[in-house]
Amino acid sequence: MVSIILASLFVITIILIYIYLKRDYSPSSDDLPGVKPHIFFGNLINSGIVSKASTFREVMLDYQHRFGDKFQFWFGSHRYFNLLCSNGIIMLTGARWKRHIRVLLPMFKRTKIIGHLETIVECADRFIDQNLHSDQIHRDLISCCQSFTINVIGFIGFDYDFDIHVNLSIKKAFQDFIFYAKFLIIASWIPRWLKKIYLKYDSKYQQAYRLIHELAEKLVEEEQNNRENEGPKNLIALLVSSLNEQANDEHTSSGLTRSEIFDEILVMILAAYETTSAAIAWFIFFVSKHPQIQQRMKDELREHHLLMTDDLRGKPPATSDNLTSLIYCECVTKEVLRLAPIAGLIIRRATCDTNTDDVKIHRGQTIFIPLQNIHTDTRYWHHADPRQFIPERFLAEDQNHHPLTMIPFGGGHRACIGQELAWLELKTIIVRMMQRNITFEDTSENTGGYDERIACFPKNLAVHVRFDRP
């Protein structure tokens, strides 16, 4: 009798869950056009994302072509990802976000970042000397680009040499963490409580979490042991000086707790590992297809007496004024970020019911802003085909493009806090590679495509590297 009752309750529960989800996914008069979602899986399967037949960027462009500028895309019944670093600034809202931003923002202002230019140049030289070999085909440049960006954040953020002090197991932990981040995004249809249980008992994730946590604890402990009386010089010093276990979201409270500091370190390391490195990889891919662009960059460097030559001993000076004067190199940097933005989507969540452009938006809904759609829209980009890599567009009519038609770092007060660093990193290493007379040549294996992780990398990047004689 008891088993019959339990079986009946189970069946009733399943039916109620199905009815709830069916109702949740049923069309309503407020819905935007789009493909009918599946229960649990939303549009992840019928768009080809789960099978990897398509990427988010390709799907967003396809949906815009089919349904116009405003459409709906369903990730599943549970759309939010904050299990890996719930205390990181990118996951926070309201008073808690304001408390974190007050701590972090001072270290990411341009006046602070520009002071690290010499360090970024040194990291760029290390990247070139260790990874680029003349007259060879390079197929592993993505991992090399990741090493460069993580070295930059290591030195300027933590005064730490990741190449020397971080072993292969920790670097593997970074990769595993990124894998789980992507998994949680794709598996948004799985209930949060079930994903939490899965992560708790997944040995691979727990090993990665433990290694990264130990690294963060080591960075904090070393900073505490080496603190001087002067003000904070880098991110880790700033974080340690803000340590306050009683910190809360009251207006009178300030600082960060130890667990919050750990998550901020985690976000900074993973962002360095995954983001700007993608832009560098895309630069190498694009210019390998356009040798005339590399030549024009070198011509500009020569005009400013910054190209390395036999009669120029030592290293040409790298200053912010030099970088600013290199107009064409800046156009190339912009074109990389336009055509291959670091993030494929900007995500915002509605905090109240509203009506925007005749679209009803309900509190709690997630708004996607697909950057590839905006950055390649022929209505806003007029110089040649916006789907092509043409830096000259920023010297022609597109130099005065609407500011919201190119937002690789987002916009508003929730724009990427590290955008000044990302921009300086990207332009510096682009200039440095050209400055040292490197030429990237196309190969038959260099077919591109999209490898979508947290950031999007060229799927097949294989270039021949040549060091030109001055």
Question: Which residues, 6+ apart, have CB-to-CB distance to 224 below 8 Å?
Answer: 240
Measured CA to CA in angstroms, residue 453 lies from 54, 166, 182 at distances of 13, 22, 6
Q: What are phi and psi of 224, to 5 degrees?
A: -65, -35
Residue 85: Cβ within 10 Å count? 20
For residues 177 and 204, the answer to whether their CB atoms sit within 8 Å is no
Return d(Cα 381, Cα 378) in angstroms, integer.
Answer: 5
Q: What does each C-alpha distance from 394 to 153, 247, 429 come to in angstroms?
A: 30, 46, 20
Strands 448-452 and 456-460: antiparallel
Output DSSP code: residue 188: T
Backbone angles phi, psi at 42, to 5 degrees: 55, -130
Q: Is 416 annotated as a binding residue?
A: yes
CA distances from 333 to 96, 118, 225, 349, 416 (A): 34, 19, 40, 30, 17
Cβ-in-10-Å burial (0-12, 13-18, 19+) of 33 comes to exposed
Pairing mode of beta strands 366-370, 456-460: unpaired
| Residue that the structure tokens 């992780």 belong to | 453
Is there a contact between 444 and 283 (Cβ–Cβ < 8 Å)? no
Which one-letter DSSP state was computed for residue 398? G
Q: List residues forming the annotated binding site for heme.
A: 416
Annotated binding site: 416
